[in-house]
Amino acid sequence: MLDIKFLRNNPDLVKENIKKKFQDEKLPYVDEVIAYDEEIRQAKTRGDELRNNRNVVSRQIGQLMKEGKKEEAEEAKKKVTEMADELAALEAKEEELSAKLNERMMVIPQIVDPTVPVGKDDSENVEIEKYGDPVVPEWEVPYHVDIMESMDGIDLDSARRTSGNGFYYLKGDIARLHSGILSYARDFMINKGFTYFVPPFMIHGDVVKGVMSFSEMENMMYKIEGEDLYLIGTSEHSMVGRYIGQILEKDQLPQTLTSYSPCFRKEVGAHGIEERGVYRIHQFEKQEMVVICEPEESKAWYDKLWSYTVELFRSMDIPVRTLECCTGDLADLKCKSCDVEAWSPRQQKYFEVGSCSNLGDAQARRLGIRVRDKENGNYLPHTLNNTVVAPPRMLIAFLENNYRPDGTVLIPEPLRPYMGGQEKLVPKK
């Protein structure tokens, strides 16, 4: 969400930004906002004038009554009533216009960073760098569900009976591997100096509106019927929402947080839910990292965050690459974002396993998060988030890259303490 003063002073820049994001249908919103803003300011000016005049006339009434000028006093009372009626109408108009202005401002996209490549959708995202060799082994790598089933580690049929497509039962060594990776990721981030959290898994509607765009909300969030509660799609939602309406002291920044949660997503859209597999599903678990920092430090934190994910995956012998998201692939609140993609030896291509985003001051503005500055006035911090790891999707990359021709799956050394010292997973079927 943009600052109204910025939009008022830079309408052409805001329109150019909308064009870069290929959202031309929103171009008229800029002029509408400017018109609403002008009417609101006129109403405020007239309201201040009326309040001042009303106070003057009100004081005159007492003096007129003392002087016995009852008729003049009654006329003055009528004026006060008329001014009160006009003021009430102005306040109602101002409230109506403010609601319309806010509705438009909520869907006008954040100004993207100048380094973001211009493109219509994710097909025009730009590769930044590869880490590790994307090897295609001489032996055949099975589909990830087949590997899991060989370990007697997944039950999709039962999940379909209890819950439908997009759900799963993990069991045995695969379930342990799933939990072990999350525990390893937790400790990895704690060792980077981040504070570990387990947050609420449901949040109020005002927090949802503060942390994400309306289109994301519609396509992602599950609402609890009859209550002002939504299931989170990622722990970033409740972690940033934790600061709603708060004023932070400068010495409290940066806030560096890492959080575990289950995540729930509708996955509405072209991709749909997989009938057999755990790549696109309704429920998964994730370790997230969130930073709230000084505005001038957010670019440096952005680079740190995605590099941590790369480091984590490389420690588990998984080749990855980073991909710069183009303007058309950025959600409206984001000013810069990159995906971390893992190598799939079976498909011989990379696929997304995490996303790092700098949201500038957009979430802070919506949620009313400020930093205290007694000399220059309070200001908005920047917020960033990044996926540390999100199994079971990440398990696909893990299993494929560590699969061996005898059907075993090697366990990299950093994970072995979380797997009871096991060096490999052995098929049971």
- The domain 122-425 belongs to what CATH superfamily? Bira Bifunctional Protein; Domain 2 (3.30.930.10)
Q: Which CATH number is 4-105 given?
A: 1.10.287.40
Q: Assess contact for 21 and 118: CB atoms under 8 A.
A: no
Measuring CA to CA, how many Å separate 377 from each of 77, 88, 247, 374?
42, 32, 12, 6
Contacts 24+ apart (CB under 8 A), 32-37: 32/100, 32/104, 33/4, 33/7, 33/101, 33/104, 33/105, 33/108, 34/7, 34/8, 36/97, 36/98, 36/100, 36/101, 36/104, 37/4, 37/8, 37/101
End-to-end Cα separation, the chain, in angstroms:
54
What local confidence, expressed as pLDDT, does residue 220 receive? 83
What is the DSSP secondary structure assignment for residue 379, as one 8-state letter?
B
CA atoms within 13 A of residue 134's CA, in its CB half-sphere: 17
Q: Assess contact for 358 and 137: CB atoms under 8 A.
A: no
Average pLDDT by consecutive 10-residue portion of the chain (429 residues)?
Answer: 93 97 96 95 91 82 76 81 88 94 94 96 95 93 94 94 92 96 97 98 94 79 93 95 96 97 79 68 94 97 97 96 96 96 95 96 96 93 97 92 96 96 92
What is the DSSP secondary structure assignment for residue 137, as one 8-state letter?
-
What's the predicted TM-score (pTM) here? 0.89
Q: Nearest-CA neighbor of 423 among 163, 397, 415, 140? A: 415
Domain residue limits, the chain: 4-105, 122-425
What local confidence, expressed as pLDDT, does residue 406 receive? 95
Burial class (CB in 10 A: 0-12, 13-18, 19+), 315: middle
What local confidence, expressed as pLDDT, does residue 259 receive? 98
